[in-house]
Amino acid sequence: MKYLLGEMTWPQVKELARPGTVVMVPVGAIEQHGPHLPIDTDARCAEAVAHRSAEATGDVPVLVAPLQSYAISGHHMEFPGTMALSSQTFLSAIIELTMCLVHHGFKNIFWLNGHGGNFPCLSVAARDVRNQVKVCMAVASFWQIAGDQIKAIRESGVGGIAHACELETSLIMHLRPDLVRTEHIKKNIPKWRTPWFGMDLIYGRKVMLGHQVADFTRNGVFGDPTLSTPEKGKRFMDAITQAVADFLKDFSTWDLDTLYTYDE
């Protein structure tokens, strides 16, 4: 790996606390992913993307912090194995961990998200950190950064990529095929009675609805994992890795004082 914070000494970390260094913190979740995927799917995918994209940035220094596994998963609690933090606890943890990095001199901090339920709190955290200090804290889910690339590879229609789906199942088939219970793979795409709400990581939804996962699925799956293959998982991972690496290289140059210009 290029720079793994957890494997470094404090003098090594101090040396990297300079302009142009990006600290990337992968954040996932520990929650059910249907009867065919491991409970650490989101955490495993986020960590893999973080490590591989850091390796792909060339000479740009990227310090990868240890994975934040536990997150916003209360809506999965009907399914055993899920371990969740409250929104308040998660938000506080993100802000406090970010402020630790700020305290040590880092100014470009990126939280790479691997679980959709985390994003609202991550967005609030980024604003709250900026209210305290003038640094660049950015947050994004890897499928947001690589949305166009994922669209080009996916075979499913709207609803096919959401949870334990074509994307996530393919990624785990690529990363850890021994953890995929292929005999339990089953498609589940709800037929919504409204155009205002739906589930797809790439196409999104028009309206946010508070819900429990068990409200809309019996087995914990949203999407079409029957279209997943290890080969497709590698294609997804390669495309996502390159897209995130491209962002990291650009993000390393961000400064709030010079990020924009006025029209004269």
pLDDT number for residue 262: 83
Q: How far is CA 245 from CA 61, 241, 242, 254, in A?
A: 11, 6, 5, 15
pLDDT number for residue 147: 97
Q: What is the DSSP letter of 118?
A: G
pLDDT number for residue 2: 63
Per-residue pLDDT of the chain (264 residues; tens, 9 = 90+): 468 999 999 999 999 999 999 999 999 999 999 999 999 999 999 999 999 999 999 999 999 999 999 999 999 999 999 999 999 999 999 999 999 999 999 999 999 999 999 999 999 999 999 999 999 999 999 999 999 999 999 999 999 999 999 999 999 999 999 999 999 999 999 999 999 999 999 998 899 999 999 999 999 999 999 999 999 999 999 999 999 999 999 999 999 999 998 876
* Other beta carbons within 10 Å of 50: 28
The phi, psi pair for 22, rounded to 5°, reads: -105, 135
Residue 119 · residue 141 · CB < 8 Å: yes
Domain annotation for the chain: domains and CATH numbers: 5-251 (3.40.50.10310)
